[in-house]
Amino acid sequence: MQCNYFGICGSCRDYENGYEGQLEHKLSVVRETFAPFFRGEIEIVRSPQERFRSRAEFKVYHDEGGMSYAMNRMDRQGMLRIHECGIVAEPIAYAMKRLLPAISELGMGHKLFGADFLASGEGEVLVSLLYHRKLDDEWLALARRLEERLGIGVIGRSRGQKIVVSRDYVTETLRIAGRDYRYVHIENSFTQPNPRVNERMVEWSLAQLEGIGGDLLELYCGAGNFTIPFASRFERVLATEISKSSIAAARENMKLNGVDNIDFVRMSAEEFTMALDRVRVFNRMEGVDLDDYRLKTLFVDPPRAGLGEEPCAFASRFEHLLYISCNPETLARDLEILERTHTVSAMAAFDQFPYTHHLEMGVKLVKKEGVA
C-alpha cells in the first residue's frame, strides 16, 4: 500500500518494509513468545493490503481553509491533516470525499470535532458526527438532507445526546465455510474491523470445533460474530455478554440467520461463574436451565486484559478450550496457567490490523489425560 502519510500519521506505525515485512516482524515476536507452549506450525491469516477496515474514526480539523480530516501525529506533536486514508474500505473512502464538502455547504460544521464511520460490504455507510454543542431540530432537518444527498445513515452525538436520523446500524454479510451469514452491526458497539480476516478467523475456529459435539459455552460473545456459525457444530450454545446493545444485536442476528439453538444471556463472565456454581441466582437466567446443558467446550474472546487467574481456573474445567486473543502478551500469561491442565493442539495468527504492532491469536487447548 502506498500512503503519503506513512511516518507522520500515528495510525500506521510499522510500514517501512511493506505488508510482508510488517507481518514477518510481528510473527517473529509471537513465534518466540509462544515457543514454550507450542512447537507446531502457527497458521497465518493475512489481510488485504489496503481498503480492509470497515470502521474508522477521524478527527475534524478547522482552519481558514475550512474543514479537513485529521489524525494524531506519530511524534505526538499535535494533529496531521489528511485528505484520504488507504486502509478504510471503499464505501468509507467514497463517503469521506463527499461528507465534509456537503456538511460545509449545509452549514452543519459548527463545533464538529469528529466523524466515525461504519460500513458493510454491500456499501452501506453510517457516520456518527461528534459535536461540542447541543444539537437541535434545525440540525436534525439538515442531517436528513445530508442523508438524502449522500445516501448514508447519520447519527449526531454531543455530550448527553444521541440523535439517530434514520438508523443506527449497517447489515454485513460474511462468507464463512461456504455459507453466507448476516449480521447487524450497531453504531458504537464492538465489531471486528477487518471483514476478510474475520471470515478466516471464524473459519479457523470452526475447524477446531469439528467433531466435538455436546454443548458450547461462550463468554464475551459480543453480537454473536462467532456464536452464530458455532451453533452448527453443537447441539446447544449458551453465550454471555455484558453489553446490553450487543446482546440485543446478537438475538437479532440469530433470527437473521435462522438459528434457534442459542441462549444469549446478558451477564459478565464472573456473574455466569456464580450462576453455574449456584452461588447466586440471577433473574437474567430465567428460562435457562443449566442442568439441561452438557458443557464440555468453552470459547472465549476476552478484552485486551485477557482472562487472569480466576477465569483461567474456571476455563480449566472444560475438556476443550478455544481462545481468541487480541493481545499476545496477556494470552501468554494466561497460557502459563492453562498449560497446567491443558495442551495446546493448534495455534493461528490473524493480521487484523496491518501496519501496526497488533496481531490477534487463536489457540485450541485440550485437557491433558488424567487431569480432573
* Tens digit of pLDDT at every position of the chain (372 positions): 889 899 999 999 888 889 999 999 999 999 999 999 999 999 999 999 999 999 999 999 999 889 999 999 999 999 999 999 999 999 999 999 999 999 999 999 999 999 999 999 999 999 999 999 999 999 999 999 999 999 999 999 999 999 999 999 999 999 999 999 999 999 988 899 999 999 999 999 999 999 999 999 999 999 999 999 999 999 999 999 999 999 999 999 999 999 999 999 999 888 988 888 888 888 888 888 888 999 999 999 999 999 999 999 999 999 999 999 999 999 999 999 999 999 999 999 999 999 999 999 999 999 998 777
In whole angstroms, give the CA distance from residue 123 to residue 95: 10
Which residue among the candidates 50, 172, 241, 360 is catalytic per the annotation?
A: 360
Note the pLDDT of residue 190. Answer: 85
Note the pLDDT of residue 371. Answer: 79
SS (H, E, C) the chain: CCCCCCCCECCCCCCCCHHHHHHHHHHHHHHHHHCCCCCCCCEEECCCCCCCECEEEEEEEEECCEEEEEEEECCCCCEEEECCCCCECHHHHHHHHHHHHHHHHHCCCCCEEEEEEEECCCCCEEEEEEECCCCCHHHHHHHHHHHHHHCCEEEEEECCEEEECCCCEEEEEEEECCEEEEEEEECCCCCCCCHHHHHHHHHHHHHHCCCCCCEEEEECCCCCCCHHHHHHHCCEEEEEECCHHHHHHHHHHHHHCCCCCEEEEECCHHHHHHHHCCCCCCHHHCCCCHHHCCEEEEEECCCCCCCCHHHHHHHCCCCEEEEEECCHHHHHHHHHHHCCCEEEEEEEEECCCCCCCCCEEEEEEEECCCCC
Q: Which amino acid is at 95?
A: A
Task: Tell me, yes or no, if 326 is annotated catalytic.
Answer: yes
**For the chain, where do the domains classified as CATH 2.40.50.1070 start and end?**
55-169
Residues belonging to the chain: 372
- For β-strands 66-72 and 112-119, DSSP reports them as unpaired
Helices 90-106 and 137-150 sit at what angle, rounded to 10 degrees?
140
All three cell numbers of 80, joined, read: 496531521
Which residue among the candidates 172, 326, 339, 369 is catalytic per the annotation?
A: 326
In whole angstroms, give the CA distance from residue 228 to residue 111: 41
Q: What does the longest C-alpha to C-alpha distance in the chain come to?
A: 72
All three cell numbers of 84, joined, read: 484520504
**For the chain, where do the domains classified as CATH 3.40.50.150 start and end?**
18-49+193-367
Question: Burial of 274 by CB count in 10 Å (0-12 exposed, 13-18 middle, 19+ buried)?
Answer: middle
CATH class in words for 55-169: mainly beta
Task: Tell me, yes or no, if 12 is annotated catalytic.
Answer: no
In whole angstroms, give the CA distance from residue 88 to residue 336: 37
CATH class in words for 18-49+193-367: alpha beta
Main-chain dihedrals φ then ψ at residue 82, nearest 5 degrees: -130, 155
Query: 82 with 69: CB under 8 angstroms?
Result: yes
Whole-model pTM: value is: 0.94
